[in-house]
Amino acid sequence: MAGKKHHMSEKARRTLSSWVLLAPAVVLMVMFTVYPIFNSMYLGFCDAGYRNSSPQWIGMENYSQLFADPVFWKVIKNTVIFILMTVIPSMVIGFGLALILNGQFRGVRFLRAAFFHPVVMPMIAAACVWKFLYMPGNGMFASLMMSVFHINIGDVLSSPKTVLPCLALMYIWKEAGYLMIFFLSGLQNLSIDYFEAAKIDGAGFWKSLIWITLPLMGSTFLFVVMIELTNSIKLVDHVVVLTQGRPNNRSNLLMYYIYQLGYNFFQQGKAAAVTTILLIFLMILALPRFLRFDKKVHYN
């Protein structure tokens, strides 16, 4: 009895000091993560502009307007296409590079730097440079296509057919090296015993890749898919520099649409509604990570 009471007061004391130590972190996280999440949900039901300071409750009005707006659906479609065009290729490239650069050979350090350096470059600076590379006429892509295939590709950033692939290509260049390092670290954690055993059994490269490496790397793949999906949604700096959503919203992506609604059209209620939709998507995305949080590694 006495022992239990002592333990309780010990925990109570600890609670006080823990909360004092955590106070700054918790206050900031509540102000800029928890509160804004609920505020977006609330503002999504409101008419909130730039100037009228008190939001007016309008129920589902923002959502019904959005769902009736072809631009909204176009943005959703663009975002899905952009995700498909970036997440899968950058993962395939990142994994392929990791397989190669996991070896020891002269120049491996240089190659890792070559593939990773776009990650430490500001997207905004990279996009300024890529804009010139994509220029019609004497831009690098245009003149390459001209001299090799004798095709005049024109202005690839203002053609509805090519604008999203162009954004995706630049994005893959920027992200593949980032994903590569997670695969590299995953590969380095694999025990070589498996591969030695496979070799003795006569399994070739492809066989051990499919039957040993890929299954063992399951958790790395899951993790990479998740960060890459989140990244490809949240980053829109390249849209600001390269296209501003043009032509005719063909390159307008969800996060840029939110920015546009809020700051160009001063419809913060509608922007909050789109944010809420995005939040729901991100929460669904996090479910697998949440469910398997305690079981970290399956094999070993």
Partner 1 sequence: MKIANKAVIFGAFIVGAVWLIPFLWMTGTAFTEPTFKMSIIPTTPFTFRNFKEVFELVPLARYYLNTIIIVVVTFSVQFVIITLGGYALARGDFYGEKLVMGIIFMQLIIPNDVLIIPNYITIVNLSLVDTKAAIMLPFLGSAMGLFLLRQHFKTMPTALTDAARIDGASTMRIIWQIYVPNAKAAYLAFAMVSVSYHWNNFLWPLIVTNSVENRPLTVGLAVFAKSTETALVWGDICACAFAICIPLLLAFFIFQKQFINSFVSAGIK
Residues 244-283 that bind partner 1 (CB under 8 A): 255, 258-259, 262-263, 268, 271-272, 275, 278-279, 282-283
Interactions with partner 1, residue window 281-300 (CB under 8 A)? 282-283, 285-286, 289-290
Neighbours of 38 (CB within 10 A): 10
Q: Is 107 in the site for partner 1 (CB under 8 A)?
A: yes
Structure tokens at 299: 């094999």
How far, in Å, CA of 156 to CA of 170, rounded? Answer: 13
Total of chain residues touching partner 1, rule CB under 8 A: 107
Structure tokens at 23: 């106070």
Residues forming a β-bridge with 57: 46
Cβ proximity to partner 1: between 153 and 181 the closer is 181
Interactions with partner 1, residue window 53-92 (CB under 8 A)? none
Task: Report whether 112 contacts 98 (CB < 8 A).
Answer: no
Please state the separation of Cα 18 from the chain's center in Å.
34
Q: Is 94 in the site for partner 1 (CB under 8 A)?
A: no
How far, in Å, CA of 230 to CA of 227, rounded? Answer: 5
Per CB under 8 A, the segment of 67-75, 101-109, 149-157, 160-168 that binds partner 1 is 101-109
Taking the complex as a whole, how short is the minimal distance between the CB of residue 30 and partner 1, in angstroms? 7
Interactions with partner 1, residue window 193-252 (CB under 8 A)? 195, 205, 208-209, 212-213, 223, 227, 230, 233-237, 240-241
Taking the complex as a whole, how short is the minimal distance between the CB of residue 185 and partner 1, in angstroms? 5
Q: Is 95 in the site for partner 1 (CB under 8 A)?
A: no
Indicate the helix (H) or strand (E) that contains 8.
Answer: helix 2-29
How far, in Å, CA of 278 to CA of 143, rounded? Answer: 39
Interactions with partner 1, residue window 117-136 (CB under 8 A)? 117-126, 128-133, 135
Taking the complex as a whole, how short is the minimal distance between the CB of residue 177 and partner 1, in angstroms? 8
CA-based Rg of the chain, rounded to a whole angstrom?
Answer: 25
Using the rule CB under 8 A, which residue among 60, 84, 92, 111 binds partner 1?
A: 111
Task: Report whether 116 contacts 181 (CB < 8 A).
Answer: yes
How far, in Å, CA of 231 to CA of 163, rounded? Answer: 20
Using the rule CB under 8 A, which residue among 80, 84, 140, 197 binds partner 1?
A: 140
